């Protein structure tokens, strides 16, 4: 008879139903052939109450997260310590056992026993791998039970031996058991690090590392586990699919880029700390190859594709955030999207000035400055040819080469510049105001550049938009021409043309045609009035307002073939508290994807209607008495909590991209909040060594070298030492 047939059913409670909690539940269910009664509590899932789980269980397994501290000084035990206080309310003066399986620093269980002496604690570490965590628990080669109470230790030993007869049982004290986990993980990290050291040496000397490894690993004292060196150098790293977007700072300029376009010019990203969007430092960035990805499709048409080990931020219905590896995330989790923007204190008063002669590469042009006073002739003489100087000395005002002015240290910010003799004069410096922001919006929706010219095209019927552009250009003292186009003998369109290579080059920095447009960096740093006028230009040009056939309410739509532009517009809308529905359509006409943003909630529609012209919104007599409350999300503070509609396992080889930020939380595609981190065990052990006064130099060398090879091999080089504060 199988010993399991004589097994006494166990009432098992699990607190924290993530990676480890699920492995425990599955292991006990399989090994007991379904006899054990398993209850679990997770504050982020629809589960039984904590009280019911504890009161009806004999053994309570605690499998809660213990994340790394932001300053890398160790791990944060706050979640575990707070939950211990709640659990002991129901375990004091009982024979229930609280079995901790969270990764904790040595001495944690003993400290809890001292704080809650009326409850029984024990510790048992897990050694699970991501790919086979369910099987790893069932087929564990050893089970370590750390308990200071001999009766508790023996009870747990019997429970595990009956269910997992092949495992070796070790019984010890809690602190020793806690240390085993760190010993194992730190030693394996050491093997990985040493293998990378040897690999680099072999590469330098022209030696075949694989042959060295194979012959050395025959020694049973060495074996070949964790000696493999792949394109993913070192250990750790969580990754995004290449097409995912981040909000990146190039120096102080914020723009939307794809993950695959991260380079050594990116020094920061939009991060998240204490409930606010911040400018966060980029510490490390790079790429690796993986065999599969997970795609999370959310409500409101949003999605994110990541590696299975990527750290996702999930929320409960009350907006409380927690972390899970992507493969742990379930459909009943919520994904937070940020309904907010970067609040720069100086944005209200600070005026952005665009110095075109610095923003544009003018080295290939002969560029001139207009109407320089004669009084500057003496300063300019060393930088002018003989004939240029003679000419300037005779005239009251004159045009001279831009380079000569800059070399002479003359301030030209209030003057105009042009290229060659036929170019159009444009301001050397443009002050970003509401009119200019609206002009840029018209360009993003209706414009293009070609052959040193800027074109903005309108339907012949869009007379109010044409007049607005004309007035803006005249206020900037920029000359332009207009051409009316005809179709079948009737007026059809109007082209506004500015013949300026300088302006053409500058406008091309935020897109040359409809498929590659992007929001200019200065918009994100401007005040709300300027952001609204940029949106006004875009919506007036490419937006539409249509009514529902289900009632008297309206939808505002924006469609664009540029995903990066759609991402930027969505960010500006979210800053106004507006969450659009994202859709994609592949039309026969364009033969490419069109990104569609729809806004239907009444309050949000009313906000956006103000950005259209009176003529465009005249058809909307009222926005209806029906207030549309989207069933797709709930709003908690400045977070929208989105449902997960589907999780797709994509089986294909792909290059993925990783970033590590100083504060660990950052904003990715469609405002989705996500996380990045490196392995915490080694960092925590370094902290413990230092507290104990033990030499931690070997562990610190491992950690530093791991970050170094991440940077120089797997990671893109960045312009500052990994882990230090970048120079902005």
Instruction: Encode pLDDT of 568-608 as tens digits.
Output: 999 999 999 999 999 988 766 656 789 999 998 888 988 99
pLDDT, position 327: 83
Of 267, 477, 499, 504, the C-alpha closest to 362 is: 504
Check pLDDT > 60 for residue 627.
no
Where do runs of H (alpha helix) occur along 116-173?
A: 133-138, 150-163
Give 728's pLDDT tier (boundaries 50, 70, 90): very low
The C-alpha atoms of residue 530 and residue 309 are separated, in whole angstroms, by 40
Check pLDDT > 50 for residue 367.
yes
Digit-coded pLDDT (tens) for 124-168 = 998 775 545 677 788 888 999 999 999 999 999 999 999 999 899
pLDDT, position 553: 76
Check pLDDT > 80 for residue 622.
no
What is the phi/psi pair of residue 253, to 5°? -95, 125
The C-alpha atoms of residue 706 and residue 726 are separated, in whole angstroms, by 19
pLDDT, position 420: 83
pLDDT, position 717: 36
The maximal CA–CA distance of the chain, rounded, in angstroms, is 115
Answer yes or no: are the C-beta atoms of 673 and 667 closer than 8 Å: yes
Between 69-78, 378-387, 408-417, 486-495, the lowest mean confidence (pLDDT) is in: 69-78
Other CB atoms within 10 Å distance of the CB of residue 708: 18
The C-alpha atoms of residue 522 and residue 357 are separated, in whole angstroms, by 16
Other CB atoms within 10 Å distance of the CB of residue 5: 8
Where do runs of H (alpha helix) occur along 239-298?
A: none
pLDDT, position 603: 86
Check pLDDT > 80 for residue 716.
no
Answer yes or no: are the C-beta atoms of 530 and 524 closer than 8 Å: no
Between 256-260, 306-310, 337-341, 416-420, the lowest mean confidence (pLDDT) is in: 306-310
Check pLDDT > 50 for residue 678.
no
The whole-number average pLDDT for the span 334-356 is 80
- Cα dist. 252→280, 455, 521, 671 in Å? 11, 29, 9, 20
pLDDT, position 129: 58
pLDDT, position 712: 46
Task: Name residues whose C-beta falls within 8 Å of residue 702's C-beta, 6 or more positions apart in sequence.
Answer: 186, 189, 190, 193, 682
pLDDT, position 133: 63
Check pLDDT > 80 for residue 649.
yes
Give 356's pLDDT tier (boundaries 50, 70, 90): very high
What rounded mean pLDDT belongs to the chain?
84
pLDDT, position 187: 79
DSSP string, 378-425: HHHGGGS-HHHHHHHHHSSEEEEEHHHHHHTT---TTSEEEETTTSPP
Digit-coded pLDDT (tens) for 108-119 = 999 999 999 999
Between 175-179, 286-290, 721-725, the lowest mean confidence (pLDDT) is in: 721-725
Check pLDDT > 70 for residue 680.
no
The C-alpha atoms of residue 689 and residue 687 are separated, in whole angstroms, by 6
Dihedral (CA of 204, 210, 215, 221) sign: positive
pLDDT, position 71: 58
Digit-coded pLDDT (tens) for 300-336 = 999 999 988 788 889 888 888 887 778 888 888 999 9
Answer yes or no: are the C-beta atoms of 428 and 356 closer than 8 Å: yes
The whole-number average pLDDT for the span 164-190 is 88
Digit-coded pLDDT (tens) for 223-267 = 877 676 654 455 555 578 889 999 998 877 888 999 888 877 888
pLDDT, position 318: 81
The C-alpha atoms of residue 266 and residue 259 are separated, in whole angstroms, by 11
pLDDT, position 224: 75
* Predicted TM-score (pTM) above 0.85: no
The whole-number average pLDDT for the span 431-448 is 96
Angle formed at CA 379 by CA 375 and CA 384, multiple of 5 degrees: 105
Answer yes or no: are the C-beta atoms of 507 and 478 closer than 8 Å: no
Helix, strand or coil, per DSSP, at residue 517: coil
Give 710's pLDDT tier (boundaries 50, 70, 90): low
pLDDT, position 280: 87
Between 265-279, 382-396, 416-430, 488-502, the lowest mean confidence (pLDDT) is in: 382-396
Give 206's pLDDT tier (boundaries 50, 70, 90): very high
Check pLDDT > 80 for residue 345.
no
- Cα dist. 298→243, 404, 559 in Å? 17, 57, 20
Between 166-180, 518-532, 646-660, the lowest mean confidence (pLDDT) is in: 646-660
Give 673's pLDDT tier (boundaries 50, 70, 90): very high
Give 685's pLDDT tier (boundaries 50, 70, 90): confident
pLDDT, position 625: 47
The whole-number average pLDDT for the span 702-712 is 63
């Amino acid at each position: 008879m199988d010993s399991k047939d004589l097994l006494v059913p166990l009432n098992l409670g699990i607190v924290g139903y993530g990676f480890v909690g699920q492995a425990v539940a599955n292991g006990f269910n399989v090994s007991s052939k379904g006899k054990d009664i398993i209850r679990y509590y997770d504050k982020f899932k629809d589960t039984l109450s904590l009280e019911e789980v504890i009161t009806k269980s004999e053994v309570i397994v605690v499998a809660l997260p213990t994340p790394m501290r932001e300053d890398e000084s160790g791990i944060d035990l706050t979640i575990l310590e707070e939950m211990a206080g709640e659990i002991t309310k129901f375990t004091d003066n009982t024979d229930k056992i609280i079995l901790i399986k969270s990764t904790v620093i040595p001495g944690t269980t003993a400290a809890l026993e001292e704080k809650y002496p009326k409850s029984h604690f024990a510790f048992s570490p897990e050694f699970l791998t991501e790919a086979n965590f369910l099987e790893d628990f069932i087929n564990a080669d050893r089970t370590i039970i750390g308990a200071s109470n001999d009766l508790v230790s023996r009870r747990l030993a019997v429970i595990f031996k009956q269910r997992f007869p092949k495992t070796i049982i070790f019984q010890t004290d809690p602190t020793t058991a806690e240390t085993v986990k760190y010993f194992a993980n730190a030693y394996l990290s050491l093997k990985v690090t040493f293998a990378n050291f040897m690999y680099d040496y072999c590469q330098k000397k022209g030696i075949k590392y694989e042959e060295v490894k194979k012959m050395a690993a025959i020694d049973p004292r060495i074996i070949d586990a964790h000696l493999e060196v792949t394109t993913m150098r070192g250990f750790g790293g969580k990754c995004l699919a290449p097409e995912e977007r981040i909000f990146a700072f190039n120096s102080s300029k914020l723009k939307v880029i794809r993950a695959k376009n991260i380079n050594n010019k990116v020094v920061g990203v939009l991060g998240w700390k204490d409930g606010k969007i911040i400018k966060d430092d980029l510490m490390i960035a790079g790429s690796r190859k993986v065999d599969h990805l997970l795609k999370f499709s959310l409500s409101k048409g949003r999605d994110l594709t990541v590696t299975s080990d990527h750290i996702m931020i999930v929320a409960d219905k009350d907006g409380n955030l927690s972390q899970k590896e992507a493969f742990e995330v379930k459909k009943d989790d919520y994904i937070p999207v940020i309904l907010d923007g970067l609040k720069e204190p100086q944005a209200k008063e600070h005026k952005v000035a665009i110095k075109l002669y610095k923003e544009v590469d003018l080295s290939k042009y002969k560029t001139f400055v207009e109407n320089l006073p004669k009084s500057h002739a003496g300063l300019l003489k060393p930088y002018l040819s003989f004939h240029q100087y003679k000419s300037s000395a005779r005239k009251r005002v004159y045009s001279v080469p831009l380079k000569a002015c800059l070399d002479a240290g003359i301030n030209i910010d209030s003057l105009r510049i042009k290229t060659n003799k036929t170019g159009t004069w444009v301001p050397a410096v443009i002050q970003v105001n509401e009119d200019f922001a609206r002009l840029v919006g018209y360009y993003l929706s209706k414009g293009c550049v070609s052959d040193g010219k800027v074109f903005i095209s309108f339907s012949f019927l869009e007379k109010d938009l044409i007049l607005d552009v004309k007035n803006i250009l005249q206020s900037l003292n920029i000359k332009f021409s207009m051409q009316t186009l005809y179709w079948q003998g009737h007026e059809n369109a109007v082209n506004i043309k500015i013949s300026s290579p300088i302006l053409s080059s500058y406008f091309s920095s935020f897109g040359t045609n409809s498929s590659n447009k992007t929001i200019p960096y200065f918009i994100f740093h401007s005040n709300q009035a300027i952001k609204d006028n940029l949106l006004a230009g875009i919506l007036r040009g490419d937006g539409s307002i249509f009514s529902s056939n289900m009632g008297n309410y309206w939808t505002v739509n924006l469609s664009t073939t540029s995903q990066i532009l759609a991402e930027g517009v969505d960010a500006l809308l979210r800053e106004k508290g507006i969450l659009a529905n994202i859709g994609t359509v592949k039309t026969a006409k364009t033969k490419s994807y069109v990104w569609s943003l729809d806004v239907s909630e009444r309050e949000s529609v009313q906000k956006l209607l103000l950005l259209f012209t009176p003529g465009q919104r005249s058809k909307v007599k009222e926005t209806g008495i029906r207030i549309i409350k989207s069933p797709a999300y709930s709003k908690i503070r400045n977070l929208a909590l989105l449902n997960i509609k589907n999780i797709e396992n994509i089986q294909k080889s792909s290059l993925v991209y990783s970033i590590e930020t100083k504060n660990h939380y950052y904003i990715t595609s469609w405002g989705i909040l996500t996380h990045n981190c490196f392995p915490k065990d080694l960092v925590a052990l370094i902290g413990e060594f230092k507290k104990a006064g033990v030499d931690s130099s070997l562990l610190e060398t491992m950690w530093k070298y791991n970050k170094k090879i991440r940077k120089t091999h797997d990671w893109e080089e960045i312009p500052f030492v990994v882990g230090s504060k970048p120079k902005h």
